[in-house]
Structure 1
Amino acid sequence: MPSRRVLKLTFEFHVPEGLDTNIRSARVDSATDQIVGAVRELAPEAFPWADELTVHREWSYRWLERRPETLPLPATDKNTAPKSAPDHDGGADEGGAAATDEAAPDA
């Protein structure tokens, strides 16, 4: 069964617009191998709790880039926190003692 606890880091290396260089697959693979090797070497010291490293490799052309959008969804009883109720506990603090300005008598 896969672990439910996962540290996920995402790196994107961007080639500048207008850079007139043909970056071939072999060079992309070599660069990826070097970066993965460096992370793998660093991982036992930086994050010693991990027992495996999963690598996702992707080389793509972004012809159209859309920024992530956050869209509100309709409120429901399952996604809305209850509104704070007025304080009707007589001024008791979390320990149950009433809050007063008077000092407690010496015991």
Structure 2
Amino acid sequence: MSTPEPGEFARAWSAAWNHRDVEAVLAHFHDDVVFSSPVAAELLPGTAGVVRGKAALREYWSTALAAHPELHFDVLGVYRGQGVLVINYRNERGGLVNEVLEFDGGLVRRGHGAYLD
């Protein structure tokens, strides 16, 4: 399994988030993506924090942006594994977050948001 070049991907990913461009972020994801996050559990009750499909992911991220108008990500590091990128970043509240992205054919098939408690 291949992954995109880590630095380029992280720059494009964070620029899309920081410009609040959900469609640019979604361009990196398969239509049948599965994404898990404790924030999704808070914002989308009934999902148990698991969002399935690009349309549902669009709804989740649009809801998150509306709830956090000050959202901003500063990438601290990017790590490559077998078909996986991990983006370590600091969010607008100073919290440390890891985004674990599993790739299939150059697009993200599964993603996981992991937050430092």
Q: How high is the TM-score relative to the length of structure 2?
A: 0.22
Q: How high is the TM-score relative to the length of structure 1?
A: 0.24
Higher alpha-carbon Rg: 1
* Structure richer in helix, relative to its length: 2
* Structure richer in strand, relative to its length: 2
